[in-house]
Amino acid sequence: MTHTVLITGGSRGIGRATARMLGARGWSVGVNYAQNLAAAEETVAEVERAGGRALPVAGDVANEADVIAMFDAVVQKFGRLDALVNNAGIVAPSMPLADMDLARLTRMFDVNVLGAYLCAREAARRMSTDRGGAGGVIVNVSSAAARLGSPNEYVDYAGSKGAVDTMTLGLAKELGPRGVRVNAVRPGLIDTEIHASGGKPERAAHSERPRHWAVRGGLMKWLRPLCGC
């Protein structure tokens, strides 16, 4: 049986690596992207070369209509939904909270918190056994920043990931009896493109211990029981 996953923010970084790894295990992958279709198509090509099937799916996770359409497109194309990797997120230039304007804070929480909640909600609606679903998995991508706080850099980002941790705890208890397992991973400093959004494209490279294990050691740990791999 071929399993299907929707990966938000799947066109780059952790999302792309997850898509590629699941493709190698024969999964069908919905690759969500916000604006960069070319990057999403590159991810789709990598999934297909690895042995899976994939579909680029446009959508802003902070927009309810977009989120619903994303899920509908994946189910229409592949016939089912077994997992959500709730990965989409943003960061902004490093600065103390006192210098952050409302527009930055609003966008940060719209994408990283509201977006994560909307995507988890739609996954729950489609996978919960009490709503006619067959069960499944939600993996939320949090961050070590949720515990460290990111002072003088990204306290807004850190707070948004703290909200993801709390959502994960509540949903694990809420959806577990309904056939949906909910977990989160908290990556540390990972060498991906997101650091350029924060004005520090070389941040991970300059770290003493840039990490690349998030997909192998984190996400796949929670998806493995579903795919038998």
Q: How far is CA 81 from the centre of its chain?
A: 15
Q: Which of 33, 117, 154, 157 is catalytic?
A: 157
List of residues 6+ apart from 112 with CB closer than 8 A = 89, 90, 157, 160, 161, 163, 164
DSSP readout, 55-67? EEEE--TT-HHHH
Residues 142 and 113: beta-carbon distance below 8 Å: no
DSSP 35: S
* Amino acid identity for residue 97 in this structure: L
List of residues 6+ apart from 52 with CB closer than 8 A = 22, 23, 24, 25, 26, 27, 28, 29
Q: Is 117 a catalytic residue?
A: no
> Mind telling me the catalytic residues?
157
